[in-house]
Amino acid sequence: MKDTTNIVLAGVGGQGILLASKLLCEAALGEGYDVKANEVHGMAQRGGSVIAQIRFGEKVYSPLVETGTARLFIAMEIVEAIRHRKYLAPDGQAFINTQRIIPTTVSSGMADYPSDPEELVRGAIPNHRMADCLELAKQAGSARCVNTVMAGWVSKSLPFSEETWVEVMGRLIKERFQEMNRKAFALGRNLD
């Protein structure tokens, strides 16, 4: 792969965007690619918007993904998919978790949450896949595994071997959470 591949992850604080980003970066490095990444934390507390940008290829000079250039867009919360869809390339693919996390501005009455975000996604993001990754994470053993479910889901769209993914998870995830995360990854990999 000579071209640089751009990936954007979006979600809210507490969903594991940073770990998912590290998994993707380390998998790319493990396959011999040059990798650059950055994270925009926004409000780091649960409910605040968080995005991560990853670029990998033969030689990458900048970590910044320009709008309209992401080959893969991974949204761990459905409204964050709508908010950050501008990064997706016209021929890019979006992977969207249907989970809804109501921000404090909505629960306090200062803002509204869309009544049908799935319909908004269908109208705004042509090339998308949606799945209830939260339910799969719970099946794996913890709602906190949504990030690993989504890494598994997107893994088949990336040129990294399954062995590389397993090795990376073995290094980055604490031993006591290994089995649960391997199961979450496998559930995601079997989506579609």
Q: What is the pTM of this model?
A: 0.93
The residue ranking higher by pLDDT, 170 or 102, is 170
pLDDT tens per residue, range 90-112: 999 999 999 998 877 777 788 88
Report helix, strand or coil for 184.
helix
CATH of domain 5-132+154-170: 3.40.920.10
Q: What pLDDT was estimated at residue 42? A: 58
Report helix, strand or coil for 12.
strand
DSSP state of 13: B
pLDDT tens per residue, range 11-32: 988 899 999 999 999 999 999 9
| Mean pLDDT estimate for the chain | 92
Please state, in angstroms and rounded to a whole number, the distance separating the CA atoms of residues 76 and 147: 7
- Residues of the chain with pLDDT > 90, as a percent, come to 82
The residue ranking higher by pLDDT, 42 or 164, is 164
Please state, in angstroms and rounded to a whole number, the distance separating the CA atoms of residues 189 and 192: 8
Confidence of residue 48 (pLDDT cuts 50, 70, 90): confident
* Separation of CA 177 from chain center: 19
Domain boundaries, the chain: 5-132+154-170
Please state, in angstroms and rounded to a whole number, the distance separating the CA atoms of residues 131 and 152: 13
Confidence of residue 49 (pLDDT cuts 50, 70, 90): confident
**What does the angle CA 146 – CA 149 – CA 153 come to, to the nearest 5 degrees?**
135
- Residues of the chain with pLDDT > 70, as a percent, come to 95
Report yes or no: 137 and 144 within 8 Å, Cβ to Cβ. Answer: yes
pLDDT tens per residue, range 114-160: 899 999 999 999 999 999 999 999 999 999 999 999 999 999 999 99
